């Protein structure tokens, strides 16, 4: 273990009754330097996933949002539109149940479900090892695009790379204008923000300009697409964004 920092001083005898030691420990304490990033292991696995995607010519998009923002409904529209021109695989993260995976059935996409329940009540995010475990169930070589539908949560998924090339975030205008300031890590990490449920705008006391001001404060240059899974608004533009990110 080359990491150990060796002390040159005082490796001698330590007596239990040593008057100079008030720590309550029977022996002295040595501080060693480690300097390891906590996410190193996850990031190594993410790099391995990304290498597999690159080798297969697949672009991977990590799709994140709070619960109920409309990820799955938007994905249904997305798959419908891309069917026949872009070959799509989905990694579907869900704490429990296959309901969302079932909702994506029948659109020609290969879906691999990960349930994150693990005895502790379920993980709140997908990490790189979880996504890796889902890959054998997908025909990567036959895909152009892999969408990783993360667990609905504005906090945890932002901290974990899964091997994606790009991050897309679905935000629903029913969530309130202040969300970018409350959850800056996710908003800052997004390469595109879909402003969803935009059809509800006339019915809400929602200040769209205030939302954009807050969004620009945490992620000044992020592209935005206003979408509605109900009317289909913005889905074409979103599909263009997805297609443009495909490998040549």
Q: Which residues bind another protein (CB under 8 A)?
A: 1, 3, 11, 14, 25, 27-42, 120-121, 123-125, 127, 155-156, 158-160, 181, 183-185, 188, 216-220
* Region of 26 on the Ramachandran plot (φ > 0 left; ψ -120 to 50 alpha; else beta): alpha
Q: Rounded to the nearest whole angstrom, what is the least distance from the CB of residue 141 to another protein in the complex?
A: 31
Computed from CA positions of residues 35, 129, 104, 244, in that sequence, does the dihedral angle turn out positive or negative? Answer: positive
Full strand arrangement of the beta sheet holding 59-65: 110-115, 88-94, 145-149, 59-65, 166-172, 192-196, 224-226
Q: Rounded to the nearest whole angstrom, what is the least distance from the CB of residue 106 to another protein in the complex?
A: 33
Q: Is the CB of 107 or the CB of 187 nearer to another protein? A: 187
Q: Is the CB of 136 or the CB of 220 nearer to another protein? A: 220
Q: Rounded to the nearest whole angstrom, what is the least distance from the CB of residue 243 to another protein in the complex?
A: 29
What are the residues facing 113 on neighbouring strands?
Answer: 92
Q: Rounded to the nearest whole angstrom, what is the least distance from the CB of residue 102 to another protein in the complex?
A: 26
Gyration radius of the chain's alpha carbons: 23
Note whether 228 and 234 are within 8 A (CB): yes
Q: Is the CB of 14 or the CB of 246 nearer to another protein? A: 14
Q: Is the CB of 144 or the CB of 149 nearer to another protein? A: 149
Q: Is the CB of 29 or the CB of 244 nearer to another protein? A: 29
Q: Is the CB of 1 or the CB of 141 nearer to another protein? A: 1
Note whether 166 and 191 are within 8 A (CB): yes
Q: Rounded to the nearest whole angstrom, what is the least distance from the CB of residue 157 to another protein in the complex?
A: 8
State both tokens at 161: 């790379």
Q: Is the CB of 182 or the CB of 246 nearer to another protein? A: 182
Distance CA 196, CA 226 (A): 6
Q: Rounded to the nearest whole angstrom, what is the least distance from the CB of residue 155 to another protein in the complex?
A: 5
State both tokens at 207: 């200040």
Task: Report the SS3 class of residue 101.
Answer: helix
Q: Rounded to the nearest whole angstrom, what is the least distance from the CB of residue 34 to another protein in the complex?
A: 5
- Work out the end-to-end distance of the chain between its first and last CA atoms, rounded to an integer number of angstroms: 44
Half-sphere exposure of 167 (CA within 13 A, CB side): 21
């Amino acid at each position: 273990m080359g990491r150990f920092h060796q002390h040159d001083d005082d490796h001698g005898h330590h007596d239990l009754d040593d008057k100079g030691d008030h720590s309550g420990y029977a022996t002295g304490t040595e501080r060693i330097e480690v300097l390891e990033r906590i996410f190193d292991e996850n990031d190594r696995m993410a790099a391995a996933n990304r290498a597999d995607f690159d080798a297969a010519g697949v672009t991977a998009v990590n799709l994140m949002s709070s619960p109920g923002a409309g990820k799955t409904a938007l994905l249904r529209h997305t798959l419908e539109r891309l069917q026949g021109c872009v070959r799509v695989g989905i990694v579907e993260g869900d704490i429990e149940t296959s309901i969302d995976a079932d909702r994506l059935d029948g659109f020609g996409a290969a879906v691999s479900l990960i349930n994150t329940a693990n005895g502790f009540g379920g993980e709140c995010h997908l990490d790189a090892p979880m996504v890796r475990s889902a890959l054998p169930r997908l025909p990567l070589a036959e895909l152009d695009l892999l969408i990783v539908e993360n667990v609905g949560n504005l906090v945890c998924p932002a901290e974990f790379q899964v091997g994606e090339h790009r991050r897309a975030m679905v935000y629903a205008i029913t969530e309130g204008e202040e969300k970018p300031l409350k959850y800056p890590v996710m908003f800052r990490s997004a390469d595109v923000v879909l402003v969803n449920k935009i059809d509800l705008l006339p019915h809400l006391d929602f200040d769209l300009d205030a939302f954009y001001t807050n969004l620009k404060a945490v992620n000044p240059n992020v592209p935005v697409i206003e979408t509605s899974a109900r009317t289909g608004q913005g889905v074409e533009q979103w599909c263009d964004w997805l297609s443009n990110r495909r490998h040549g």
